[in-house]
A and B are shown apart, each in its own frame.
Chain A
């Protein structure tokens, strides 16, 4: 996925003056404000009063014999259009656009499949406002009354059906329920995460019998009306699941001069889903690069995140996990499954890494 709103439909918001967070943007969308009262399952559902929202699933799956490893990503985006008197019909809305990106990585087969969807709110895509139920054409993610999330993804040549048991409450990142992304006080979001969802299901690959798979999924849900701060061109985001039960989330916001924005942050979440520490003083070391033969974009890889005296080196399981999403967001970025190695080179976990702003600046697109 790309973690910030949708390029094709984004509208910039002028800087707010003063420290008080305004209730809404000048064009009438709600701003993520401290003190937001979360309620579940309602807040797993859609928040149309905010301009942008996404539900993000990434996971690491293995065949039952453990011999075959896969990664997947399924992201649903909702983007509100500028408010107008005419908003289409219930079946074909003209006020909300839904986009989705889906990928599947086959480490052994060295294959990376990508799919994307672009639809409007109504019959072909939508999201419920009272619980997690979002779909874009045949791609779906829905939580049933028992808390089980059902997911369906298909990409050319592959189909994936998963179920995952979610804990009662998600991790809520940020301060007082608000995750800041930049100096602009409105550049913030409400950011919820299930960092470790035990997942199982069936993977269907072309010309192969359906394959039972199991593993762990990371799910993010974020809604906001403005995310990108002034001078930021992109970011490196990682969701790390360590073997010791901890989960780490980090994003490095990059400025146009290549430096790390002070609003970058890294979190450590323990086994029980409690945030134990966070820091903006983490480092990201670039230890090589991979250049996409398709877009000729150079991505610094592997990346090593360094904080609290620990090193987490993210090594992609497949180099080419680049998405070129001309049919939806129009953004080219890299997002893929990685192994996590410690300072001694020992494999200590799995991660999904997202790198944006390398093919083109995202400035002006959010």
Chain B
């Protein structure tokens, strides 16, 4: 009985209202897919060496790095005793720029012979066949040629590369030709290898990168029978000076923090897409329950218990939620394939670290997204289900019950109170850096409160209706004065979507404006030179000191500022230590020092103090991460031991999230004996033609990229736009979802007014006039949602710009209101609403009276 009743009430109802069911399902699917795709794409984008390492052997249990600079391989035998319980995999990394395709590749050098020691010990017994001699030959090829490289299957396939093929490009600024010795196949069931990975045998990689005797890290894995704890305690006692054991949590987060700011934006957006979807689902279930109120009343009258009715509605929600989540997981995986390229390019552009091209469906991520979609669906159905279960039959059957006005005053007041609470929570407490839970909670409160308060805008917008002369204007605005739940949901959903778009938009614009101002102030040199393929702080390309000297001595050059950057471990965290020519910078350059108008005296003083009293500039992010202020002292690890410096200034820097500390170049040289530099900024003599000098230098040094000041600014803007391109795409998805809800609401409202429509037609109103009335009503809802959304967005933007960014990333952004963007958003929302509502209004205007009988069936 229950089964057949359930089938009749759920499956048949869904089948009869295919359109509604499909829309609800799509709402779930869309939210789930966006959420999932972002997470999958991010996973793929941040996976780099792990893919290769896991493909050939085991993942590591520990990583050893130098506190600063490279590891000296000569000290490796000090770890011999640990090899009783662990294997050790030495790694060197570098960059290769392929001239033909203008692509950056990551060179990964490891001991291709010793890597066999990390292969899973549960290897199968040998079969009777002898080893393939061609495999042996290829193996010899890979270790007995200094230019042999193994490439990913993806690269081999896309560029039709076979063993023996030459790959020409640059390492640092030197032309280098590598030869394909083998193709790395993806291991089944493991993440695909990134396309831009070039694996070389360790000594060949050291030679190619011109870093003899150096290693970047050691990866260690416990052997069978030993534990990671034994490894950890054993290692600590034998590590040479300057070598540090990276904490597991540090390792786990290193890949993630690299893209934290970026992921943060995307995750917030995907969750908001789900929130918008939740509103729509709520609306869909509410409409569905209302439409079948006669059914619920009959069931009540036949003695069906309220709990059973509740179960019917919830079962329907569960069914839609499951189908929608399943579809969402599939769509999410599809979307991830597209978005991973975008994310990966951005990550590579910003950090020079990743080049994933496709994302695998991670079961955990899929389940999480599906579960969220399913729960959101159940949550959205709960209130309508309760209404169906607990409303007395008489009330359910009462005509007009579905168009009962909502308690908009209560909603407005509650909404305003929640928004106020959110704003207070965000701005009042002063929490330590890194803590931002209050800002997240505040954002949710503002979104929720603002969307509720948007309902209160409708009576205000409907108020002119009483004074309107035309009957159609009066009829269009009348429903807004007493908005129903359906009006409310549509406006609230749109408010969330517009609010989200506004908030993110304002933040992005503020960010961009701030960065542009910063760049405008900081980039003063005429030409910027760096090895081809260098992008971002993490680039591993370096110019030899002699070449930098040669550039500085060019007759057209007035002054050269050589910049170098090294990753260092400080107080257990990874950060960057940079060096610049303070004297040149003071004379010709500019740096934005917080709390000081002119940086020159500070720079000059640091230059004069030299190595006797070393002074350094700390970036704002560094200052926040390490809790240091001007005047504080710090001990910096160098190959010769700890060296002391004092912080003389805090400067604005939006280039990286790890923070950086900059010292004068002579100090850096004395401490690290490193003449190389990552880039050189050239100030030309008066009268020199920048373009000509750039052309001349470019021709002379084929491995250098020579960019003018304008080029560099353009590149920074490009990277910036690229970073947020996907953000805008997601905002559009959110808006599209909200507009779909608006159309759904208008159709529902028209259904509710079908008696009125029929009367109007009987009185002689044309279809066009009736459509105009319905469109006016819909636009009123859209306007309320949009205005409400803009207000929400402005408050949200304040939280994002003034609280979240400084707290989470240490970036102080200047809040700037992009009026053009806001006007565009308003126009876009209303235009899209009109475009979406118009056909719906026309369709509704043609509704016949006999549809009533059909609907009631």
Given A8-B131, A86-B144, A88-B143, A138 contacting B84 (CB threshold 8 A): yes
Comparing B122-130, B256-264, B303-311, B501-509, the segment that makes contact with chain A is B122-130
Q: Any chain A CB within 8 A of the CB of B423?
A: no
Comparing A211-219, A256-264, A327-335, the segment that makes contact with chain B is A327-335
Q: Any chain A CB within 8 A of the CB of B849?
A: no
Given A84-B144, A206-B225, A295-B125, A124 contacting B114 (CB threshold 8 A): yes
Q: Any chain A CB within 8 A of the CB of B81?
A: yes
B223 to chain A, nearest CB (A): 6
Residues from chain B with Cβ under 8 Å of A8 in the complex: 131, 136, 139
Q: Which of B83, B125, B140 has the most CB of A within 10 A?
A: B125
Closest A residue to B148 by beta carbon equals: A86
Q: Any chain B CB within 8 A of the CB of A117?
A: yes
Q: Any chain A CB within 8 A of the CB of B73?
A: yes
Q: Do B113 and A324 touch across chains, with their CB atoms under 8 A apart?
A: no
Q: Any chain B CB within 8 A of the CB of A62?
A: no
Q: Any chain A CB within 8 A of the CB of B224?
A: yes
Contact mask A61-91 → B, CB, 8 Å, 1/0?
A: 0000000000000000000011010111101
Q: How far is the CA of A292 from the CA of B212 in the complex (A)?
A: 47
Q: Any chain B CB within 8 A of the CB of A304?
A: no
Q: Do A118 and B114 touch across chains, with their CB atoms under 8 A apart?
A: yes
Comparing A42-50, A343-351, A358-366, the segment that makes contact with chain B is A358-366
Residues from chain A with Cβ under 8 Å of B81 in the complex: 138
B195 to chain A, nearest CB (A): 27
Residues from chain B with Cβ under 8 Å of A365 in the complex: 130-131
Q: How far is the CA of A84 from the CA of B113 in the complex (A)?
A: 17
Residues from chain A with Cβ under 8 Å of B127 in the complex: 360
Given A94-B203, A156-B224, A294-B125, A327 contacting B119 (CB threshold 8 A): yes
Residues from chain B with Cβ under 8 Å of A9 in the complex: 136
Q: How far is the CA of A138 from the CA of B238 in the complex (A)?
A: 14
A8 to chain B, nearest CB (A): 6
B203 to chain A, nearest CB (A): 4
Q: Do B123 and A123 touch across chains, with their CB atoms under 8 A apart?
A: no
Residues from chain B with Cβ under 8 Å of A93 in the complex: 203
Q: Do B144 and A360 touch across chains, with their CB atoms under 8 A apart?
A: no
Q: Do A360 and B129 touch across chains, with their CB atoms under 8 A apart?
A: yes
Q: Any chain A CB within 8 A of the CB of B401?
A: no
Q: Do B117 and A331 touch across chains, with their CB atoms under 8 A apart?
A: no
List CB contacts (< 8 Å) of B71-85 with chain A: 73-74, 76-77, 80-85
Q: Do B128 and A360 touch across chains, with their CB atoms under 8 A apart?
A: yes
Q: Any chain B CB within 8 A of the CB of A97?
A: yes
Q: Do B213 and A91 touch across chains, with their CB atoms under 8 A apart?
A: yes
Residues from chain A with Cβ under 8 Å of B212 in the complex: 89
A177 to chain B, nearest CB (A): 31
Q: Any chain A CB within 8 A of the CB of B202?
A: yes
Q: Which of B80, B81, B82, B113 has the most CB of A within 10 A?
A: B113
Q: Any chain B CB within 8 A of the CB of A19?
A: no
Q: Any chain A CB within 8 A of the CB of B670?
A: no
Q: Any chain B CB within 8 A of the CB of A137?
A: yes
Q: How far is the CA of A150 from the CA of B383 in the complex (A)?
A: 80
Q: Any chain A CB within 8 A of the CB of B406?
A: no
Q: Any chain A CB within 8 A of the CB of B206?
A: yes
Residues from chain A with Cβ under 8 Å of B119 in the complex: 326-327
Q: How far is the CA of A117 from the CA of B119 in the complex (A)?
A: 11
Q: Do B130 and A364 touch across chains, with their CB atoms under 8 A apart?
A: yes
Q: Any chain B CB within 8 A of the CB of A200?
A: no
List CB contacts (< 8 Å) of A1-60 with chain B: 7-9
Q: How far is the CA of A84 from the CA of B121 in the complex (A)?
A: 32
Q: Do B111 and A92 touch across chains, with their CB atoms under 8 A apart?
A: yes
Q: How far is the CA of A326 from the CA of B73 in the complex (A)?
A: 28
Closest B residue to A295 by beta carbon equals: B125
Given A120-B113, A326-B119, A89 contacting B207 (CB threshold 8 A): yes
Q: Any chain A CB within 8 A of the CB of B581?
A: no
Contact mask B99-141 → A, CB, 8 Å, 1/0?
A: 0000000000001011011010101111111110000100110
Q: Any chain B CB within 8 A of the CB of A355?
A: no
Query: What are 26 A-B residue pairs whose CB atoms fall within 8 Å in the complex?
Result: A86-B145, A87-B144, A88-B144, A91-B74, A91-B76, A91-B213, A92-B201, A92-B206, A94-B203, A118-B113, A119-B113, A120-B143, A123-B74, A124-B111, A137-B117, A138-B81, A138-B82, A157-B225, A295-B125, A296-B125, A324-B124, A326-B125, A326-B126, A330-B126, A331-B126, A363-B130
Closest A residue to B135 by beta carbon equals: A8
Interface size class of chain A, counting residues whose CB lies under 8 Å from the partner chain: 35 or more
Q: How far is the CA of A135 from the CA of B139 in the complex (A)?
A: 23
Residues from chain B with Cβ under 8 Å of A119 in the complex: 111, 113-114, 117
Closest B residue to A155 by beta carbon equals: B225
Residues from chain A with Cβ under 8 Å of B129 in the complex: 360
Q: Any chain A CB within 8 A of the CB of B705?
A: no
Q: Any chain A CB within 8 A of the CB of B162?
A: no
Residues from chain A with Cβ under 8 Å of B725 in the complex: none
- Option from B85, B140, B202 in Cβ contact (under 8 Å) with A92: B202
Q: Do A327 and B117 touch across chains, with their CB atoms under 8 A apart?
A: yes
Q: How far is the CA of A135 from the CA of B213 in the complex (A)?
A: 21
Residues from chain A with Cβ under 8 Å of B111 in the complex: 92, 119-120, 124
A258 to chain B, nearest CB (A): 15
Q: Do A82 and B114 touch across chains, with their CB atoms under 8 A apart?
A: no
Q: How far is the CA of A82 from the CA of B401 in the complex (A)?
A: 91
Which 6 residue pairs across A and B have the least CB separation, nearest first? A326-B123, A295-B125, A156-B225, A154-B84, A137-B83, A92-B203
Add 8 more A-B contacts to A119-B111, A295-B126 (CB < 8 A): A9-B136, A86-B146, A117-B117, A119-B113, A156-B121, A326-B125, A330-B126, A360-B130
Q: Any chain A CB within 8 A of the CB of B547?
A: no
Residues from chain A with Cβ under 8 Å of B114 in the complex: 118-120, 124
B231 to chain A, nearest CB (A): 13
Q: How far is the CA of A51 from the CA of B125 in the complex (A)?
A: 27
Q: How far is the CA of A332 from the CA of B206 in the complex (A)?
A: 36
- Option from B123, B144, B146, B226 in Cβ contact (under 8 Å) with A81: B144
List CB contacts (< 8 Å) of A109-137 with chain B: 115, 117-120, 123-124, 135, 137
Q: Which of A84, A93, A294, A327 has the most CB of B within 10 A?
A: A327
A25 to chain B, nearest CB (A): 16
Q: Any chain B CB within 8 A of the CB of A302?
A: no
List CB contacts (< 8 Å) of B36-84 with chain A: 73-74, 76-77, 80-84
Q: Do A94 and B124 touch across chains, with their CB atoms under 8 A apart?
A: no
Closest B residue to A86 by beta carbon equals: B146
- Option from A91, A120, A156 in Cβ contact (under 8 Å) with B223: A156
Q: Do B144 and A94 touch across chains, with their CB atoms under 8 A apart?
A: yes
Q: Do B116 and A91 touch across chains, with their CB atoms under 8 A apart?
A: no
- Option from B123, B204, B206, B213 in Cβ contact (under 8 Å) with A324: B123
Closest B residue to A95 by beta carbon equals: B144
Closest A residue to B130 by beta carbon equals: A364
A169 to chain B, nearest CB (A): 31
Residues from chain B with Cβ under 8 Å of A294 in the complex: 125
Q: Do B202 and A82 touch across chains, with their CB atoms under 8 A apart?
A: no
A28 to chain B, nearest CB (A): 15
Q: Do B203 and A88 touch across chains, with their CB atoms under 8 A apart?
A: yes
Contact mask B527-558 → A, CB, 8 Å, 1/0?
A: 00000000000000000000000000000000
Q: Do A359 and B143 touch across chains, with their CB atoms under 8 A apart?
A: no
Residues from chain A with Cβ under 8 Å of B131 in the complex: 7-8, 330, 365
Residues from chain A with Cβ under 8 Å of B121 in the complex: 156, 327
Contact mask B220-240 → A, CB, 8 Å, 1/0?
A: 000111100000000000000
Q: How far is the CA of A235 from the CA of B132 in the complex (A)?
A: 23
Residues from chain A with Cβ under 8 Å of B213 in the complex: 91
Q: How far is the CA of A323 from the CA of B117 in the complex (A)?
A: 16
B25 to chain A, nearest CB (A): 50
Residues from chain B with Cβ under 8 Å of A331 in the complex: 126
Q: Any chain B CB within 8 A of the CB of A159?
A: yes
Residues from chain A with Cβ under 8 Å of B77 in the complex: 123
Q: Do B117 and A94 touch across chains, with their CB atoms under 8 A apart?
A: no
Q: How far is the CA of A123 from the CA of B213 in the complex (A)?
A: 11
Closest A residue to B114 by beta carbon equals: A119
B47 to chain A, nearest CB (A): 25
Residues from chain B with Cβ under 8 Å of A89 in the complex: 203, 206-207, 212
